[in-house]
Amino acid sequence: MSNDVLVPAPPTLPTHKPIRLIDETGRAVTGTQTAGFRMPDTDTLLSLYRRMVLARRFEAQVTALTRQGRLATYPSALGQEACEIASVAALAQQDWLFPTYRDTIALLTRGVSPVEILSFFRGDWHTGFDPHAHRISPQSTPLATQALHAVGLATAAKLKQDDTVALTFLGDGSTSEGDAHEAFNFASVWQAPVVFVIQNNQYAISVPYSKQSRARTLADRAIGYGMPGYYVDGNDVAAMYAVVTAAVERARAGHGPTLIEGLTYRMEAHTNSDDPTRYRETSETAGWLDHDPIDRVEKHLDRAGALTTAVRASIAAEAEALATATRDAMNETPVLDPLEVFDHVYSAARPALLEQRAFLANELAHTDTREAGAA
């Protein structure tokens, strides 16, 4: 009996060491560790650096707002800027992003406003932005479910012959979910134009990677699904951009999915309700300061003479303006309409939902009347 081979040439295992193009001193890497990927041009690196600086300042401001009680919770991505921003920068306007709850700076980089983003974390809306306008799905809190959604959209795009690629983020912990397996398998079987970016920040809340998987790398799994896998230094924005760009181009050309693991580190707590000192040593976190993604590309741009004093000052001023605008917006108390919860459930009104809406409207009216009488 013949065994139809879906992949003409089986993919090989990822490189033993993570792919990198810029080392911690800012020098360009040469040799086998580049895996043949080329350094992005200086203008691209400068744009990526600017986006990372803005994102880090935004994160610092949002974390402060959380501690002041302005937001219910916030999962910081401090230290993971290279993974998120390089991946988003590799997408074209017509492509779709399927993020997790930690990928706020990816949304910011793709053009969603701070108010629209943070209304989710303040509890005002489940999703404060228009997914179709930005081509970004709602931030997923359940683990790995968004990967299946990405495969579904990408498959539909392929059937419609749309020039669309879907990129989805997963954490290392979410790759232990059955949904991740289903997404990887069906994307490969259907040759869907999907790019899976696993941000291996080495902790699934408090569980270290060593207690989740015995695989050498998470990218090793790709070969089992019959798709290419790349193991990348997730704190090297140049390497992440080069590898993700190649994967997006491959998907758009009709050659199917790619799985990319970015090795990075979550510098802050899982959320503000978490105490990381209970499961990791402070010295471990301090050691990762030497691998900071912004510091690395900044040194590289300095060496290239591209980061002048004027450019640095302009970016810093832009970052402060973003932080100020975010702070001012979150200090305003929003005016919310409880009946809006019914408005975006279905595209066409359903009788049962209309009945529930009318019931709540009546309850609210009576509450207002009672409060007015008591006053």
Which residues belong to the active site? 266, 270, 279
- Nearest to 209, CA basis, from 193, 220, 196: 220
**Cα separation of the two ends of the chain:** 84
Strands (E), 18-176: 96-98, 166-171
DSSP symbol at 21 = S
- Give the C-alpha distances (Å, rounded to integers) separating 322 from 181, 224, 299, 371: 39, 44, 24, 40
AA letter at 176: S
Match 């190649």 to its residue by tokens.
Answer: 246
Tokens of 111: 């053009």
Tokens of 90: 């590799």
Q: Which residues contact 155 (CB under 8 A, 6 or more apart)?
A: 186, 190, 192
